[in-house]
Structure 1
Amino acid sequence: MSQLVAGFGCRSGCPLDILATLLDQALRTNDLDRGQLAGIASLDRKADEPGLVQLAARLRVPFYTFSATELLAYDSQLSHRSPTSFAHTGCYGVAESCALALAEELGESRPQLLVNRQRTAEATLALVGVSTG
Structure 2
Amino acid sequence: MQVFVGLGCRRGCPADTLGHLLEQTLKAHDLPLSAVAGLASIDLKHDEPGLQQLARRLKVSLLFFSATQLAAFEPRLSHRSAVAYQHSGCYGVAESAALALAEHLAGPAQLRVTRTLLADASLALATTTGFGG
Using the size of structure 1 for normalisation, the TM-score is: 0.95
Is 2:43 aligned against 1:41? no
Q: Secondary structure at the match of 1:81?
A: coil
From 114, 118, 121, give the equivalent of 2:119. Answer: 121
| 8 A contact 2:98–2:124 mirrored in 1 | yes
| 8 A contact 2:70–2:90 mirrored in 1 | yes
Q: Secondary structure at the match of 1:31?
A: coil
CA gap 1:56/1:132 in 2 versus in 1, 3 angstroms: farther
Using the size of structure 2 for normalisation, the TM-score is: 0.95
How far did 1:121 drift? Answer: 2.7
Other-structure match for 2:93: 94
Structure 1 segment 1-133 matched on structure 2, within 5 A: 2-109=1-108, 111-130=109-128
What is the percent sequence identity of the aligned residues? 53
Unaligned runs of 5+ in 2: none
How far did 1:107 drift? Answer: 2.2
Give the distance between the partners of 1:25 and 1:116, measured in 2 at CA.
Answer: 14
How far did 1:45 drift? Answer: 1.2
Match for 1:54: what amino acid?
Q
Q: Secondary structure at the match of 1:112?
A: strand
| 8 A contact 1:3–1:132 mirrored in 2 | no
Q: How many matched pairs?
A: 131
Give the distance between the partners of 1:59 and 1:17, measured in 2 at CA.
Answer: 12
Q: Secondary structure at the match of 1:129?
A: strand
Unaligned runs of 5+ in 1: none
| 8 A contact 2:17–2:119 mirrored in 1 | no
Match for 2:122: what amino acid?
T
Q: Secondary structure at the match of 2:72?
A: helix
